[in-house]
Amino acid sequence: MTDDPREPTRTEVHRVADPEATRVASYLAQPGEVGRVLLLYSGGLDTSVMLKWIQDEYEAEVVALTVNLGQPGEDYDVVKGKAVNLGAIEAHVVDAREEFATEYVLPAIRANADYGDGYPLFTALGRPLIAKLAVEYARRSGCDTIAHGCTGKGNDQVRIEGTIATLAPELKVIAPVRSWQMGRDEEIAYARKHGIPVKGGTESAPYSIDDNLWGRSSEGKWIEDLSHAPDDDVFQLVTRPELAPDEPQVVEVEFERGVPVALDGERLGLADLIERAAEIGCRHGVGIVDHIEDRIVGLKVRDIYEVPAAAILLPAHRELERLTGTIHQNQFKPSLDQKWAYLVYAGLWWEPLREDIEAYIEHVNQRVTGKIALKLYKGHARVVTRESPNAVYDAQLATFAESGGLFSQQASPGFIEIWSLQSRMARRVHEADQG
């Protein structure tokens, strides 16, 4: 900047002509900057087309990374083979189930994590881990850029790019689906032309699915029509309640310090326990959520969720936590839980406030030890029994009949008079006002 009046002022035209001035984010890669790309590869149509397209468009090398977070029924050898066939110079598959369960899902259980009354955040929890692994593998394999298959309308781009920008400022990002402007038909044509196998029918777009061991979401097709009740074929995980067994099943979840450690008396590692809970929930039709959601990018959308494990473990945890907390603790924690869930939903996993809140949540959970049993029946999961050495509960005190010890029924009227004092005074003032 200069104050010299003879110096011509910069015009709008100059600014637009300068590529740096039109760059939307500093971490987005310009074509010349892309040499070797770490591609987050699912094996589906979008990322398969990307694998080829990046090689052609940027003349870049591609390292494929596929992360196993417990997506049911995925064959990772097939995915890896497909990546190599499409020209990846390296193809990695990481089994991150245990890390996902203990470092991401467990804090969510302890936070009773729920966004917008029904979404237990499985995708939102998975993205920061996937992106963190992308950073690790990109560095290890000498990549300068990370590519992902998110669109420009969803939350996942925020979660993935936010993670990369936070953890690895030196890495660039490309998001071809956001920029290439190919429709589904063009993608299929591109795939055909380049020998990319397209699985399933190609007539109509399938549901858009994302899943891991904590749940599964479906979007697209009729789901976008809010007046369309769910078609049966969307439920690929959970048995529809009307088809669930006629006999109920009671399942007992045991917690130690807020960690689910056993199911029906059998001690299991967390990832296995979650998978086992999911199986039982699926059988009884629990965890179907038809959800209208406020996305971070402003859109309101509808998702169909299948969250059988969360539908058992979250209510069990919440119940045990409440049993071991006082009225004041129990009123306070949900506000922190809600903030925690919102930060995670909004792609701010690496925001320090998340860990600050977790410090409180972990402290609370030190006393969350005990057993909760739920009865599952045709889509419902209802707590039926509770047991905890830390319960703030005394059957002797709670019973109607008895008086004495720590609780004297004779003292209650004195309490009521004092407890209602301000309300009584306010009413009197109000009545006097009205004349």
What is the C-alpha separation between 310 and 324, in angstroms, rounded?
Answer: 21
Task: Return the ∠ at Cα 400 (arms to 398 and 405), rounded to 5°.
Answer: 60
**Interacting residue with ligand ARG among 219, 256, 275, 387 (CB under 6 A):** 219
Helices (H), 141-259: 156-167, 176-179, 184-193
What is the C-alpha separation between 280 and 249, in angstroms, rounded?
Answer: 9
219 vs 290, beta carbon nearer ligand ARG: 219
Instruction: For residue 293, state whether it binds ligand ARG (rule: CB under 6 A).
Output: yes
Helices (H), 195-347: 270-283, 310-324, 327-345
Q: Check residue 12 and report its DSSP letter.
A: H
88 vs 177, beta carbon nearer ligand ARG: 177
Instruction: For residue 303, state whether it binds ligand ARG (rule: CB under 6 A).
Output: yes
Task: Return the ∠ at Cα 128 (arms to 127 and 134), rounded to 5°.
Answer: 90
Instruction: For residue 212, state whether it binds ligand ARG (rule: CB under 6 A).
Output: no
What is the C-alpha separation between 39 and 79, in angstroms, rounded?
Answer: 13
What is the C-alpha separation between 322 and 329, in angstroms, rounded?
Answer: 8
Distance of CA 130 to the CA centre of its chain: 12
156 part of the active site: yes
**Interacting residue with ligand ARG among 114, 156, 254, 306 (CB under 6 A):** 156
Q: Are 339 and 360 in contact (CB under 8 A)?
A: no
Instruction: For residue 217, state whether it binds ligand ARG (rule: CB under 6 A).
Output: yes
**Interacting residue with ligand ARG among 66, 155, 163, 212 (CB under 6 A):** 155
Q: What's the N-to-C CA distance of the chain in angstroms? A: 71
Closest distance between ligand ARG and the C-beta of residue 213, in Å? 15
Instruction: For residue 365, state whether it binds ligand ARG (rule: CB under 6 A).
Output: no
Which entry of 48, 97, 114, 127 is annotated as an active-site residue? 127
Closest distance between ligand ARG and the C-beta of residue 321, in Å? 24
Instruction: For residue 42, state whether it binds ligand ARG (rule: CB under 6 A).
Output: no
210 vs 319, beta carbon nearer ligand ARG: 210
- Please state, in angstroms and as integers, the Cα–Cα distance from residue 242 to each residue in 285, 308, 344, following that order: 8, 16, 34
217 vs 365, beta carbon nearer ligand ARG: 217
Which entry of 36, 141, 208, 290 is annotated as an active-site residue? 208
In the region spanning residues 106 to 145, those forming contacts with ligand ARG, defined by CB under 6 A, are 123-124
What is the C-alpha separation between 208 and 223, in angstroms, rounded?
Answer: 10
124 vs 373, beta carbon nearer ligand ARG: 124
Q: Are 272 and 279 in contact (CB under 8 A)?
A: no
408 part of the active site: no
209 vs 261, beta carbon nearer ligand ARG: 209
Total residues contacting ligand ARG (rule CB under 6 A)?
11
Instruction: For residue 254, state whether it binds ligand ARG (rule: CB under 6 A).
Output: no
Which entry of 42, 110, 114, 156 is annotated as an active-site residue? 156
Beta bridge partners of 252: 373
Instruction: For residue 210, state whether it binds ligand ARG (rule: CB under 6 A).
Output: yes
Give catalytic residue positions.
Answer: 46, 127, 156, 208
Interface with ligand ARG by CB under 6 A: which residues? 123-124, 154-156, 208, 210, 217, 219, 293, 303
